[in-house]
């Protein structure tokens, strides 16, 4: 595996965090990279953030341009966790999470007929049937073989405070699946919420879900947990019902896994942090100087069937850094652009989430 560093989107004054991105090939041969760009002084998850875009022509990246920002005069405070897709009618599309003042959120789709020069009206891609906080990770929208678009969301119920307003959310999330049969015009919640089995002692629940389609048409979902492994579930009816979540073969910190299938060679590629974070981990390694969540090393592995992955190869393993929230943009058979958060104490970063790195990988 050959890794070529291309760009670090480093924090700077007035821009304290750059994180959670997604790639999309454009008609003119360039590749767009969209990401969460924080503005102001705070890098907190709920601080003010916008969606920025830069363009890669194979040699250099352009300067960032703001594509989406919270709507002025509303209670919108944050736009982040972006996915990008080429819709069936040819439009480029951006999906992103909008956070509102208080504790609520919604997932939005906006289309562009001109390669992100302009955007159309927002469409809710995760209808919020219950009040609460919905989370959809970056690079999470998939096109299925039957023509549907699908994504997965984690639902954190809100708890009411003394003043009748939600003031915190339950960290133990449940997951549900959402799909569109009309190329993104409307969306429906396909499944009931699914949760960890009752005997699982977890503070995370099923967080940050993702979904892929296996070669036989079965849907495979994966979930971040604090139980030392990613959990998994299967659907044999296009996402309407799911098997009980169970531990997968992916050992992991409480950090997201990403699995994507290459349109060039049909292989599936998984990127994740394989070492669980436990109290014993730091007994034999140096405790990092910043918060990393145990998100090192970052590894990549491939599979022909989406279930049985080969030996992982290390992408990054700096013990002073955390590597997480990956995104993959395929550029050819066995070739990809890979982005991920890469904040490091040795670089002076305050947390692993504030810096995003883009590399080119030849496998």
Q: At 165, is the pLDDT very low, low, confident or very high (cuts 50, 70, 90)?
A: low
| Mean pLDDT over each residue of the chain, to the nearest integer | 93
Six token digits for residue 194: 């699914």
The count of other CB atoms within 10 Å of the CB of residue 357 is 23
CATH, range 2-362: 2.120.10.10
Is a pLDDT exceeding 80 seen at residue 95? yes
Six token digits for residue 341: 């958060």
Please say whether the beta carbons of 144 and 190 come within 8 A. no
Domain boundaries, the chain: 2-362
Q: Rounded to whole angstroms, how far apart are CA atoms 221 and 195?
A: 13
Please say whether the beta carbons of 252 and 272 come within 8 A. yes
Q: Rounded to whole angstroms, how far apart are CA atoms 20 and 9?
A: 11
Please say whether the beta carbons of 136 and 109 come within 8 A. no
* Per-residue pLDDT, 60: 97
pTM over 0.85: yes
**Per-residue pLDDT reduced to its tens digit, 249-262:** 999 999 999 999 99
Is a pLDDT exceeding 90 seen at residue 65? yes
């Amino acid at each position: 595996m050959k890794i070529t560093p291309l760009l670090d989107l480093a924090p700077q004054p007035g821009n304290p965090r750059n994180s959670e991105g997604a790639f999309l090939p454009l008609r003119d041969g360039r590749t767009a990279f969209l990401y969460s760009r924080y503005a102001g002084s705070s890098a907190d998850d709920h601080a003010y953030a916008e969606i920025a875009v830069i363009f890669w022509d194979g040699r250099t990246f352009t300067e960032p341009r703001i594509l989406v920002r919270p709507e002025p005069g509303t209670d919108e405070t944050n736009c982040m966790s972006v996915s990008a897709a080429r819709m069936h009618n040819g439009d480029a599309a951006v999906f992103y999470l909008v956070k509102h003042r208080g504790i609520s959120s919604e997932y939005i789709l906006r289309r562009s007929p001109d390669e992100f020069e302009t955007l159309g009206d927002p469409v809710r891609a995760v209808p919020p049937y219950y009040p609460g906080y919905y989370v959809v990770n970056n690079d999470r929208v998939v096109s299925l073989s039957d023509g549907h678009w699908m994504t997965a969301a984690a639902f954190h119920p809100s708890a009411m405070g003394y003043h009748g307003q939600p003031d915190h959310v339950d960290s133990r999330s449940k997951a549900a699946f959402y799909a569109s049969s009309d190329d993104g015009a409307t969306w429906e919640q396909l499944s009931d919420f699914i949760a960890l089995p009752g005997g699982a002692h977890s503070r995370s629940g099923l967080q940050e879900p993702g979904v892929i389609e296996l070669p036989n048409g079965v849907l495979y979902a994966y979930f971040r947990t604090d139980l030392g492994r990613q959990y998994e579930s299967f659907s044999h009816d296009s996402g309407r019902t799911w098997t009980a979540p169970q531990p997968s073969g992916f050992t992991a910190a409480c950090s997201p896994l990403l699995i994507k299938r290459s349109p060039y060679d049909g292989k599936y590629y998984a990127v994740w942090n394989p070492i669980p974070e436990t109290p014993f981990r730091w007994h034999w390694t140096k405790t990092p100087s910043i918060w990393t969540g145990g998100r090192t090393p970052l590894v990549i592995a491939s599979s022909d069937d989406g279930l049985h992955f080969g030996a992982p190869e290390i992408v990054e393993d700096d013990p002073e850094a955390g590597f997480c929230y990956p995104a993959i943009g395929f550029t050819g058979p066995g070739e990809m652009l890979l982005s991920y958060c890469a904040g490091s104490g040795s670089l002076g970063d305050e947390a692993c989430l504030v810096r995003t790195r883009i590399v080119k990988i030849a496998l």
